[in-house]
Structure formats: C-alpha cells, structure tokens
Amino acid sequence: MSHPHPELSLPPALPAGALRIVALGGLGEVGRNMAVLEYDGRLLVIDCGVLFPEDNQPGVDLILPDFDYIKDRLDDIEAIILTHGHEDHIGAVPYLLRLRRDIPLVGSQLTLAFISAKLKEHRIAPVTRVVKEDETVAFGPFSCEFVAVNHSIPDALAVAVTTGAGTVLHTGDFKMDQLPLDGRVTDLRAFARLGEKGVDLFMVDSTNAEVPGFVTPEVEIGPVLDSVFAASDKRIIVASFSSHVHRVQQVLNAAHNHGRRVALVGRSMVRNMGIAAELGYLKVPDGVLIDLKKVDSLRDDEIVLMCTGSQGEPMAALSRMANGDHKVSVSHGDTVILASSLIPGNENAVFRIINGLTRLGARVVHGGNAKVHVSGHASAGELIYCYNILRPKNVMPVHGEVRHLVANGALAVKTGVPADRVILAEDGVVVDLVDGKASVVGAVPCGYVYVDGSSVGELTDAELKDRQILGEEGFISLFAVVDSATGKVIAGPHILARGFAEDDAVFEDVRPQVVQALEDSIAGGATDVHQLQQVMRRVVGRWVSNRLRRRPMIVPVVVEA
C-alpha cells in the first residue's frame, strides 16, 4: 500500500534552514501516531504507536507505522518524544528500537514506566530521559519545551519544538478539563506565552473536532458509577483501557464506598495499574484490591472485576467472557460497565460484545445509555479556545480520520487562520516549513506494516485479500493428470471445496466441462502446465459464479504423465 496521494511526487531536498514534517501514521486514521521532524540533517520523532486491526484485516495482531522513510537514517534520530502512555502512541516503540536500540526515549515518568515495562517483554533495555512540564531540553538542533495537558491518562505532555525554522507546537492527545481528577489542568498560560512568542505550526489533536461544545469533566463520572454500583446486587464487571488510571481510580473509590473488593483481570491491566500505584498516580484504598484467585471466596455483591476489552478486542478478557471462553463467567443479574467511548471502526465488535453479554443475562451499562465515560480529546469549543490563545501562523490537524482533520481545519479558519495556511495532510505527505510558511512539497510511500504472530511486515495487502476471500467466499482445489503424448485427461479432475453449503456432488456437472476445455487447449497447442491450470481456473470460476453466485479462491494443479 503506497501513500494515498499518487499525484504527489517524492519531495525535493530539504532547503537550508527549513523544517520538514512527515507523519508516518495518525493522519487519516485513529491510531498509529508518529511524526518525524527533520532540521539540519537531524531527525526528531514524536510518538510511535500502533493501530488495531478492523474486521477486514483477519489474523492481524497490530498495524505499525512504515519505518522505511527513516530506515536508512536511524543514526540521524536524536530522540523519540512520547507525549503519553497510550498504545496508539507508544505501542510501536519496541519495533523501532529493534532497528536501533539506543535511540533515547523522552517522556513523563508514567509514560516511560509504561513503555519500559513493555520493552522488558521484548528484552530491550531502553535509554530514557524523564522530563516534566515547564522543562526545556535540547536534542541536537531541536529545543523542546514540555507543556502539561490533560487527557484520559495522567502525565500527558504537549511539546513545543523550536529550531532555526521556527516553533512547532504538537499537542499530543489533549483536552481542557477544568476539573481533572488529579488537579493537573492543560496549561493555557504556557499556550498563551508560546502564542506571544509565535507558533509557526500548530499540530493539534482532531479526534473530537466534529463534536460541539466542551467535553464533560471527569469528576461527573464518579457519581454515575456510584449510582450504578448502588443499583447492583450481584457482581460488577468494569471494562476499560488498561492504561486509564483515572477510570480505575473512580472504580476503586466506588467499590470502597459500597463495601466491594476489586480484582484486576488481564495482564496489561495488572501491569499498568501496578506501575501507576507504585509511582503514586493511583491511590488504592486499604483492603480494596484483591487477587483474582480470591474472588471465589467472596459473595457476588462483594465483587468488582476490572478488565480490558472495552473496544471488543477478540483476545481481551471481556470478549472471552462474552464468548464463555474465560475463567470468569458472566451470570444472570451481573452488571457489566463499558467505561470507554467507541473508537471509530470498533462499533461492530463492541455491539457483538454487548449482545453476547445481554444474552447471558447481564445488565450492560455503556456510553449509549449512561454517562460512564467521557472522551479524552478536546471538542470543538476547546479547539477554538486554543486557536484564539495561540494565533498560530500555520495549522496542521493531526490524530484523526479525514473527516476529523477537515472539521478541525474548518475551526482554524473560523478563528482567522488563512485557509492556505491550514495543511490537511495524510500519512506520508511531506510538509516543509520555509520562511514561516508551511506547504505540502511531496509524499513518501507510507503503507501499513502488519504484525501477524511473530512476523512483522511480511504480510501483504494481497495476502490479506486472500484471507478475506477464504473467509467469505470459500476455497476450491482442482487436480488433474494429462497425458502429454495423447493430449487426454487420464485422471481427474478431482474437485475439493471448503466453505460451501452445497454438497461436493454439485460439482459433478462441471467436471466434463473441465475435461473438454483441457483437451481442447492441448489440441490447440497449449502444452505449458501453467496455461492448463489457468484454463481449469477459468472454467470452474465461471461455472461457480453463474451457478452458485460465489467467487471463491481456486487453486488448480495439473500434472503431466
């Protein structure tokens, strides 16, 4: 899969004194966030995340950014700045560090703790540099000032990168919750100060650009959870992201208020919350947390299970519970809370989970019927505030599908940013900042890199298409033996079909047609085995299409005797 703009050629050499920005993920999709900044021959990477597969990508575990653009320039990378600890921003770091292990990782304490734990599983000992808000650190020619922002995970940071070409402010994921649970608000004073100095390019989160107004404060979720707990007289199962420290904190608080104990379910949930508690980001009331093994010794009305799987991920704990494939079984009268918003593309998977849990007799509470989650991304009203505070010279919406990027760009124009200074780019598009003006100068190949089991980057789009065909249309194998001397079919054709409702006997009608087509082709001078195989494929394919209305994968084999 190449870049989405075939009309754009490869970019020219970067002019002296200019800054180049190339997004290798996150533009045109929600996930896989990664931006590469280049100045004076050196590179700075901001975020390196994964994208989770959709239904049309069977068998795929993760999707990575395409590192080809920087593969031959790994030694030019000064650092990887990680804005926060969500998988769509840090999940691909292990795969990049496989190419060069000593690239410094820069981020807040919690972010680096999360990625370090992940890297330990990959047997990589990273080089890390902890930074805090209000701190400025130079990495080669890049002077980076870090700014506190709030999000659905603690310790998120925006970064203002200053070079000789100007200042780029990258928000990472952020919102402007004025009543955050940890008291750490988005630092609008720092935004204002940067705006006074001059922001030449504003790279800003677009996920909620279509949503009017302001995001509901996190503190309003606590009373809703409390009321759900009060109305539940059996087990409560809460599904959330394994990194959502604030939501886990609210669940722990509600459990404490109602005399319940909480068991964490899922390796990533146990690992991340252990880190958060150890570093002081998660305050665990005395005696509330218990080991999952001790759950059976408690009454149903004393139990809360906190697990992963709120996005319908097939291997996550909640999906397996809904399918009856987990040691924790869901029973009639249990309450299941999906404490997260839907990520675009996951709707069908989540609704399947809700239906499965409801069928088992559970009461399912989710964002569609109760305020049990608020987004971690700034809505339109908050974005307009930022534009008015910063007055950026150029704007490049990031983090979102195309509709989100376009909506965000329209907000910028409403606040007075000239339309020709709003850059609507997608993955692989190259943007240069020259003399204070940002413009598209080309594009680089930037495809999906699939992680499929232990293989990375070996699965192609063509092979994915084959998997879809196998799953949706079925499979037919054909085998025939021809006598090269007489030109006659002396064995077969044997037809084996899989994924068809019809009995194999239905294919008896096409066998004579295959024999006739093979013998006619040989009589006409076709002696190459590949040609004869294609003859079989065409005859059977046409017959199956007309008779059964299917387009299966057909694998023909012809052997000469």
Q: Which residues pair with 481 in a beta bridge?
A: 491, 559
Joined together, the tokens standing for residue 129 give 């540099």
The tokens for 529 are 């085995």
Dist. CA 437–CA 394, nearest whole Å: 7
The pairing of beta strand 34-39 with beta strand 19-25: antiparallel
369 class by beta-carbon count within 10 Å (0-12 exposed, 13-18 middle, 19+ buried): exposed
- Exposure string (b/e) for 499-525, b if CB count within 10 Å is 16 or more? ebeeeeeebeebbeebbebbeebbeee
SS3 of residue 352 by DSSP: helix
Q: From CA 87, how far away is CA 50, in angstroms rounded?
A: 6
Is 151 annotated as contributing to ligand binding?
Answer: yes
Strands 157-163, 142-148: pairing is antiparallel
Binding site annotation covers 170?
A: no
Active-site residue, selected from the candidate residues 47, 205, 334, 432:
205
483 is in an annotated binding site: no
Q: What are the phi and psi torsion angles at 524 (to 5°)?
A: -85, 5
Alpha carbons 556 and 532: distance in angstroms, whole number: 9
Question: Is position 521 annotated in a ligand binding site?
Answer: no
Please tell me the distance from the alpha carbon of residue 4 to that of residue 9, in angstroms, as a whole number: 12
> What are the tokens at 287?
């005696």
For residues 397 and 204, what is the distance between their CA atoms, to the nearest angstrom? 5
326 is in an annotated binding site: no
Query: What six digits make up the tokens of 550?
Result: 């299917």
Work out the widest C-alpha separation in the chain, in whole angstroms: 89
Query: Is 262 within 8 Å of 255 (Cβ atoms)?
Result: yes
Contact of 306 with 274, CB cutoff 8 Å: no
- The full length of the chain comes to 561
Closest residue by Cα to residue 303 from 276, 323, 331: 331
Q: Is the CB of residue 242 less than 8 Å from the CB of residue 275?
A: no
Q: How many CB atoms lie within 10 A of CB 234?
A: 16
The structure tokens listed for 364 are 């399912």
Q: Distance between CA atoms of 450 and 458, rounded to whole angstroms? A: 7
Is 243 labelled as part of a ligand binding site?
Answer: yes
Helix (H, G, I), strand (E, B) or coil at 316: coil
Query: How does DSSP assign 491-560, residue by residue?
Result: EEEEEEEES-SS-GGGGGGTHHHHHHHHHHHHHTT---HHHHHHHHHHHHHHHHHHHH----EEEEEEEE
Per annotation, catalytic residue among 170, 246, 366, 377: 377
**430 annotated to bind ligand:** no
On the 0-12 / 13-18 / 19+ scale of CB atoms within 10 A, 102 is: exposed
Residue 509 marked ligand-binding: no
Q: Is 244 known to sit in a ligand binding site? A: yes
- Answer yes or no: is 59 a known binding residue: yes
What does the alpha-carbon distance between residue 106 and residue 88 come to, in Å, rounded to a whole number? Answer: 16
226's tokens: 């409390």
**Binding site annotation covers 2?**
no
For residue 326, indicate whether it is catalytic: no
Establish whether 40 is a catalytic residue: no
Please indicate if the annotation marks 529 as binding a ligand. Answer: no
Check: CB of residue 148 under 8 Å from CB of residue 193.
no
Compute the distance between CA of residue 101 and CA of residue 88 in angstroms, rounded to an integer: 20
Show which residues are catalytic.
Answer: 205, 377
Would you list which residues are annotated within the binding site for Zn(2+)?
84, 86, 88-89, 151, 173, 399
Would you list which residues are annotated within the binding site for substrate?
242-244, 373-377
Would you list which residues are annotated within the binding site for Ca(2+)?
59, 61, 452
Would you list which residues are annotated within the binding site?
59, 61, 84, 86, 88-89, 151, 173, 242-244, 373-377, 399, 452
